[in-house]
Amino acid sequence: MSTQKKHVNAPLVVIEGNVGAGKSTFLRLIGEQLNAQLVFEPNAQWQDVDGENLLEKFYEDSKRWAYSFQTYVFITRVQTQQEAAKINTQPLQILERSVYSDRFCFAKNSYEMGNLSSLEWKMYCKWFAWLVDTHVQKPIAFIYLRTSPEVCFKRLHKRNRFEEVNVTLDYLQRLDKKHEDWLIHGKEDLIKNIPVLVLDNNKDFESNELIRDEHLCEIVTFFEKVLHFPAKTVLKQN
């Protein structure tokens, strides 16, 4: 029987970035060196809803499936984070994406592109506001992997998920603007006071250990100076 102390309400930090930015890879490689529970995006659940691929349906016919997709994404994100928190033994929890990027980037973009109707957008915003206020743990910080749409597009094709075959550069440019408005220009009041660490993510960190070390150093400094977490708490001791 484990005697490790559970940290059910451990502080939550979120990795954000555009489609194809490399969030999963970044979290896996950087997370190996941190005292943190890593919570990855539950995209497997979107690819298999009792045998049906909701992610594929969304990209094939966004106007038909946008509301269904955004609703299910919200539910699975919250469920995944909360289930992970129940068994967490680390002083931190680091999450790949949040319901906030769903709201301020993806759902908002779907509405502006005409894939969510005015009524669907109003319903989404109403239940989102209530559920976030009553059921969602607010993060203490965001780490934004700032990546150009062109680099994201190249990485998207490199990973070659068949569901993403219809993703265009224009779509990524729209999402990039939403991320910039939200995380750089602070246009959304709901989470305006949460600190954001911005990392230049255009270089290939996956195959370059030096770049990963630079990012890790920036993260540790951010945790120390902004979040007041000492390095010995954040970094694994070799």
CATH 3.40.50.920 fits 12-234, yes or no: no
Catalytic site includes residue 214: no
pLDDT by residue (tens digit) across 126-151?
A: 999 999 999 999 999 999 999 999 99
pLDDT by residue (tens digit) across 186-233?
A: 888 888 889 999 999 999 999 999 999 999 999 999 999 999 999 888
pTM over 0.85: yes
Which pLDDT belongs to residue 238? 66
Tell me the DSSP string of 28-42: HHHHTTBSSEEE---
pLDDT by residue (tens digit) across 7-47?
A: 878 999 999 999 999 999 999 999 999 999 999 999 999 99
Q: Find out whether 211 and 204 touch, Cβ atoms under 8 Å.
A: yes
- Which of 16, 96, 112, 164 is catalytic? The answer is 96
State mean pLDDT over 93-106.
98
pLDDT by residue (tens digit) across 66-93?
A: 999 999 999 999 999 999 999 999 999 9
